[in-house]
Chain A
Amino acid sequence: MLRLRLVVGLSLLAVGAFAALARPWERATARFAPVLTAAPLQDPGLGPGLLPVDVFHPERRPRPDGTLPPLPPPAYGGRVIVHLDAMPKSLCATIDNSGITRRILYEVHETLLLRDWETTEWKPDLSLRWEVQDRLVPKPGAQVPPPEFLIGAIRDVGDAWFVDPKPGYVSTDTPRIAKADVESVERGTVLTFHLRPGVRWHDGHPFDARDVAFSCRIYENKSVDCGEIRQRFLKVEKAEILDYLTVRFTCARQYFNALDTLGDMCILPAHLYDLSDPDNEDGNRMRAANPGWTPGEKEEARYVNENPHNRDWIGLGPYRVAQWTSDSVEAVRFDGYFDPMNAGYVDTIRWRAIPDSDAAFQATLNGELDFFPRMSAEDYFGGSTQVQAFTERFYKGYFYTPNYWYVGWNLYRPQLADVSVRRALAMLFDFEEFKRTFYKGLAVQVTGPGSVYAPGYDRNLKPLPYDPAKAAALLDQAGWTDHDGDGVRDKDGVALEIELLTPPNDKVGTAFGSKYQENLARVGVRLRLTGVEWAALIERRRDRNFDAVALGWSPPLESDPEQIWHSRWGGKDQRSSNFVGLQDRPVDELIDRGQRELDARKRAGIWQELHRRIYDLQPYLFCYNSPRKFAMSRSIRGFQIVPLDPNYVIRRWFYPEGTPGTRPKLAASAAGDRASEKGK
Chain B
Amino acid sequence: MLRYVLRRLAWMVPTLLGITLVVFAAVHAAPGDAAAMASSAEGSDPGLDLEARRAQFRAEHLLDQPLTRQYLHFLGPFDLSPQGHPAFGGSGAHPWHGLLALDFGREFGRTGVPVAEELGRRLAVTIPLALLSILLAYGIAIPLGILSAVRRGSLGERAAALSLFALHSVPAFWLGLMLILLFGAAGLGWLPVVGLHDKDAQAFGPVAYAWDTVRHAILPVATLTLPTLAYLSRQVKGAMVEALESDYVRAARAKGLPERAVVLRHALRNSLLPLVTLAGSILPALIGGSVVVETVFTIPGMGRYAYEGLLSRDLNVILATTTLSAAMTLAGILLADLAYAVADPRIRHA
The 10 sampled A-B contact pairs (Cβ below 8 Å) are A2-B160, A225-B111, A327-B298, A352-B199, A356-B295, A389-B189, A403-B43, A535-B36, A539-B31, A552-B43
User: Across the interface, do B199 and A231 meet the contact criterion of CB distance under 8 Å?
Assistant: no
Smallest Cβ distance from B169 to chain A, in angstroms? 13
Q: Looking at the complex, which of A13-21, A132-140, A508-516 is the stretch in contact with chain B?
A: A13-21
A89 CA / B53 CA spacing, docked (Å): 17
Interface residue? A556 (CB, 8 A): yes
Stretch at the interface among A107-115, A190-198, A305-313, A491-499: A305-313
Closest beta carbon of chain A to B333's beta carbon, Å: 30
Let me know if A350 is at the binding interface, CB within 8 A: yes
Q: Is the interface of B mostly helix, strand, loop or mixed?
A: loop
CB contact list, B27-51 vs A, under 8 A: 30-34, 36-37, 39-51
| Pair A576/B111 contact, Cβ less than 8 Å | no
Bound state CA distance, A306 and B151, in angstroms? 64
* A359 contacts the other chain (CB 8 A): yes
The one of A19, A298, A576 that contacts B51, using a Cβ cutoff of 8 Å: A576
Contact B33 A542 (CB under 8 A): yes
A368-B194, A561-B47 given; A16·B178 CB < 8 A: yes
Q: Interface readout for B162-179 with A: 1 if CB under 8 Å, 0 if not?
A: 010010000000000111
On whether the beta carbons of B163 and A535 are closer than 8 Å, the reply is no
Stretch in A92-100, A156-164, A438-446 with 4+ CB within 8 Å of B:
A92-100
Range, interface on chain B: 35 or more
Q: Which residue of A lies closest to B60 (CB)?
A: A225
Known: A228-B53, A535-B313, A563-B49. A542 touches B159 (CB 8 A): no
Give the distance in Å from the alpha carbon of A530 to the alpha carbon of B49 in the complex: 27
A368 and B166 alpha carbons, distance in the complex (Å): 33
The reply to whether the CB of B147 lies closer than 8 angstroms to some CB of chain A is: yes
List B contacts of A308 (CB < 8 A): 112
What 3 pairs between A and B have smallest CB-CB spacing? Answer: A535-B32, A365-B185, A326-B300
Query: A89-B109, A563-B48 are known contacts. Are A19 and B163 too (CB-CB below 8 A)?
Result: no
Contacts of A325 in B (CB 8 A): 300
A389 touches B185 (CB 8 A): yes
**B325 at the A interface (CB under 8 A):** no
A410, B290: Cα distance in complex, Å: 40
Which residues of chain B are near A556, meaning CB under 8 Å? Answer: 45
Residues of B within 8 A of A298 (CB): 82-83, 91
Binds B, one of A3-11, A55-63, A70-78, A462-470: A3-11
Distance from A99 Cβ to chain B, minimum over Cβ atoms (Å): 6
Complex Cα distance, B54 from A89, in Å, reads 17
**Contact status A227-B296, CB under 8 Å:** no
- A327 to B125 Cα, complex, angstroms: 13
Pick from B42, B49, B193: contact of A551, CB under 8 Å: B42
**In the complex, how many angstroms separate the beta carbon of B258 from the nearest chain A beta carbon?**
20
> Which B residues touch A668, using CB under 8 A?
none
Q: Which of A311-338 contact B (CB under 8 A)?
A: 311, 325-327
Q: Within the complex, which residue of A19, A228, A577 is in contact with B187, where a contact is CB–CB below 8 Å?
A: A19
Residues on A with C-beta less than 8 A from B52 are 230-231
| Cα-based distance from A306 to B46 in the complex (angstroms) | 27
Given contacts A2-B156, A535-B36, 16 further A-B contacts (CB under 8 A): A12-B182, A23-B181, A89-B107, A89-B111, A99-B43, A231-B52, A298-B82, A363-B194, A368-B194, A387-B186, A538-B40, A539-B33, A551-B42, A555-B45, A560-B47, A577-B50
Question: Which partner residue on chain A sits nearest B148 by CB separation?
Answer: A2
**Shortest distance between the CB of A643 and any CB in chain B (Å):** 16
Residue of A nearest to B106 (CB): A306
Residue of A nearest to B307 (CB): A355
B79 to chain A, nearest CB (A): 13
**Given the complex, which residues of A lie within 8 Å of B155, measured CB to CB?**
3
Tell me if B110 counts as interface (CB < 8 A to partner A).
yes
Indicate whether A16 sits within 8 Å of B37 (C-beta atoms), given known contacts A310-B111, A533-B32, A536-B32: no
Contacting residues of chain A (108-160) with chain B, CB-CB under 8 angstroms: none
Specify the chain A residue showing the minimal Cβ separation from B109: A89
Q: How far is the CB of A524 from chain B (nearest CB, A)?
A: 32
Residues of A within 8 A of B40 (CB): 538
- Write the nearest CB–CB distance from A355 to chain B, whole angstroms: 7
B56, A6: Cβ atoms under 8 Å? no
Q: Which of B166-224 contact A (CB under 8 A)?
A: 166, 177-182, 184-187, 189, 192-195, 198-199
Say yes or no: A17 contacts B178, CB within 8 Å. Answer: yes
B264 at the interface (CB under 8 A from A): no
Q: CB of B121 within 8 A of chain A? A: yes
